Amino acid sequence: MKIAALIPARKGSKRIKNKNRLSIDGNPLIEIIINTLNETNFFDELYLSTDDQFLEKKYKSKLNILNRTEELSDDHSTVIDLLKHHQSNELKEFDIICLIFIHAINVSSRDILSAIKTLKSSSCKRLMTVCKLPVPIEWTYKLKDKSLNANFKDAELIRSQDLEQSYFDAGQFYLYKASWFDKCQLANIAWHELTLLQSVDLDEPKDLELLELFYKMNKQQKKSL
């Protein structure tokens, strides 16, 4: 069985300038991901999909570089579009592809190995990382026209113990079997659960502070084990 990891890193990030070049605690985010992937000793090849010549030159000795076309680098293309493109062109030989993001620095090699094991033993063709919502989803609200509106009418009157646990897409990494690309259906999905400390995305500048805090906390905890 052949397994590849794909790191998407486009140049034109809008909300956080040069997001994919960022470092935390003196370590470039991409290098942290590379080290985590290498720690698994499980991947046949590691790939970086980018349109950034800076990243291409810096990491061409550590990663296989895949050209991210202009069409797949604009604000309208999705990561699924990118993944499908590379799978049909450069990654067809692989049985499983791990799509992992540069903000996944709080994910351990153990998490990745456990997730791969889960997917391999499952009839599902795709796996996502998830995290428990700290409150029941029935207690959530939307802000519309400066007004707070309940997503579920009168749900706050229901006791939390009478509501089922809900999860959200942690967005750290995804696994895909080669057969998934035949139909690309998003339903029927396996999962690997992460903690809240591992589930920070990197969309807004304020997210960087939280990501750095959790990274330092996780590093300290790892040292004490």
List domains and CATH numbers for the chain.
3-129+171-224 (3.90.550.10)
Q: Tell me which residue of 70, 56, 46 sits closest to 20, measured CA to CA.
A: 56
d(C-alpha 57, C-alpha 138), whole Å: 48
Residue 33, C-beta contacts closer than 8 angstroms, at least 6 positions apart: 7, 100, 101, 102, 104, 105
> Rounded to whole angstroms, what are the CA distances from 140 to 67, 120, 134?
41, 35, 11
Q: Calculate helix-pair angle for 109-120, 29-40, nearest 10 degrees.
A: 50
Q: Give the per-residue pLDDT at 222.
A: 67
Q: Give the per-residue pLDDT at 160.
A: 84
| pTM of structure | 0.93
Q: How far apart are the first and last CA of the chain?
A: 32
pLDDT along the chain (225 residues), means of 10: 96 82 92 96 97 94 93 86 96 98 96 98 98 92 91 88 93 98 94 95 91 89 56
Which residue type sits at 144? K
d(C-alpha 6, C-alpha 83), whole Å: 8
- Looking at residue 138, the DSSP 8-state letter turns out to be G
- Looking at residue 153, the DSSP 8-state letter turns out to be T
Strand partners, 148: 143
118: tokens are 């889960």
> Rounded to whole angstroms, what are the CA distances from 3 to 10, 96, 157, 223?
23, 5, 48, 29
- Looking at residue 48, the DSSP 8-state letter turns out to be E
